[in-house]
Structure 1
């Protein structure tokens, strides 16, 4: 009973922190916002009255900050849940959402789109398709190698190989790109950023993210059984292959969608599951919802830092790496102990 109350307290704190941070993020940035003017703007919009005197404020809030706040919330949640799922089904706390090559595949797709100048939507679609394609190749290769050893190990090894191939293809794309125009665009995109995200893109993002998150949330209890190993799961009536494939597909969809929108933001799916397990334990009934909340909070904080630390905006991937790498070292020391 005490443990149940403790977890309820953790969730309450996380929800309050998310709401407070969501509101505070409106006021964080290089453009100072007066709260009184903001409230006046909200009132005028609710009353459907003209707000010509607040046109600039309206653009900043509803065209710039609100879309990127929602984007950071969705992407942080997606990467955190993907990391939690992959660490569970592979029974390895050191794997991340790009373990099967989804991130590198999506990165290559975006690089090709930028190189061919297919436009913003073309880049996103290309990124999403290649992210899914990379995982399909990985899964097909792992099936072919399954007779050679442990299927989970073969899947991880296949992911490493395919991820490395797509990483090399990204380097090749950068090598042949125009060094004055295309190369800087590819490089900046790969670092991860929410600078150019728009409201329509965020709305479209919610469709595949929801399609991936809802099954993971509904069937999250099966992850508890999968954690015991394939033989134990089968003895308890779980179809291991189909269940693992379901989780891989859902996690891949939300990972590829996130990368296609904001670029490659590393470490989120690696460190957030560890923090979540430390707070609520290893039961996926609470672990998955807590990962959603903590992932959203974390990436909103990172995005706020990205646009306020210096006079120019810092790519998200740089900040998440600076935070994630020391945390990874800390984890290694904890494992040694």
Structure 2
């Protein structure tokens, strides 16, 4: 008698076997990851060049919702609520979205080296933002241009993927590579024609990634696509377990592989475009964090994907806190994520390659 799709997802090779290693044994770690993310966010609100005492910071936050005696200063309130809080919220959203997108793509393509960059959306979004900066448009146009060109890149990749019905995954990867290279060339051309005194520095800084201009408006702008895409990916996370069985078995179990992949790709593209639109290019998060989530939770996507979202948010919040505290001038996020992520990724692979991919 054929097992149902959810049952097959539980018993599929994507879910590690053995007592205490499946979803039931791993799921209790989700509250731990959530608590750790909250602690990291609170620490980021208190730390910086102007240190806010933790007790005052907690009272300040509580005072926004409950009647609490005011013991904090006006400067502390401005620093926490107007400067750091939108930045921390944005880092949680961007880090979580990129990490969740990377974890989903690694499951879709069954390849541990896949990240959101592989579908070309990041390159398309980066060109949209650079074009707005080159034309001297405002910050709203930079966000809108990045988001619009990111979705345009996805449309191109999806069209290329339809050219060969026999190898959809291969065509999507090739389409993403070609599309990414095309938009990367356009970014290089924009940098070439930009004014080296007034335009080029802002373009280069934006491409390196930064949350220095975080506002509540940008938090809302990022939250809509990132949370919408995350909701779709998390709702379909059990189907990734079924897809790991192969297209034929997935079809037999009632899961249409092409449709499921396309929906997941669109959701990941939505999260990636939203992230690049407000933060610029932030690399390595979508590659490193999914490996951490897989190492700590196993390969069951029902647990791994929400864990990746939480870990990714905490990871980028730590990176952003370091970027604004290590030196007198802020270090772009792209530099720190590469400097920290690349060696960490090598060590992670060397120590845990058998545990993560033996199945």
Give the alignment's TM-score, normalised by structure 1. 0.92
- 1:232-251 to 2 correspondences below 5 Å: 232-251=249-268
Shift in alpha-carbon separation, 1:213–1:51, aligned structure 2, 3 A: same
Structure 1 residue 252, shift from structure 2 partner: 0.4
Specify the alignment match of 1:157 in structure 2. 174
Among 52, 56, 63, the alignment partner of 2:75 is: 56
Structure in which a larger fraction of residues adopt helix: 1
- 1:168-247 to 2 correspondences below 5 Å: 168-247=185-264
Shift in alpha-carbon separation, 1:120–1:227, aligned structure 2, 3 A: same
Determine the C-alpha separation between the residues in 1 that align with 2:140 and 2:343: 36
CA RMSD of aligned residues (A): 2.4
Specify the alignment match of 1:82 in structure 2. 101
Determine the C-alpha separation between the residues in 1 that align with 2:318 and 2:305: 20
State whether structure 2 residue 9 is matched by structure 1 residue 2.
no
Gaps of 5+ in 1: none
Deviates further, 51-60 or 274-283: 51-60
* Cα deviations by residue, 1:134-183 (Å, 9 ceiling, x for unpaired): 11101101212x15x52211110111111011001000000000101110
Give the alignment's TM-score, normalised by structure 2. 0.87
* Cα deviations by residue, 1:162-211 (Å, 9 ceiling, x for unpaired): 10110010000000001011100000000000001101210232111121
1:11 partner SS: helix
Among 258, 280, 291, the alignment partner of 1:274 is: 291
- The answer to whether the 8 A contact 1:45-1:51 is kept is no
Specify the alignment match of 2:31 in structure 1. 12
Gaps of 5+ in 2: 1-18
- 1:31-180 to 2 correspondences below 5 Å: 31-35=50-54, 37-38=56-57, 41-42=60-61, 45-46=64-65, 54-144=73-163, 146-147=164-165, 150-180=167-197
Aligned residues: 335
Structure 1 residue 324, shift from structure 2 partner: 2.1
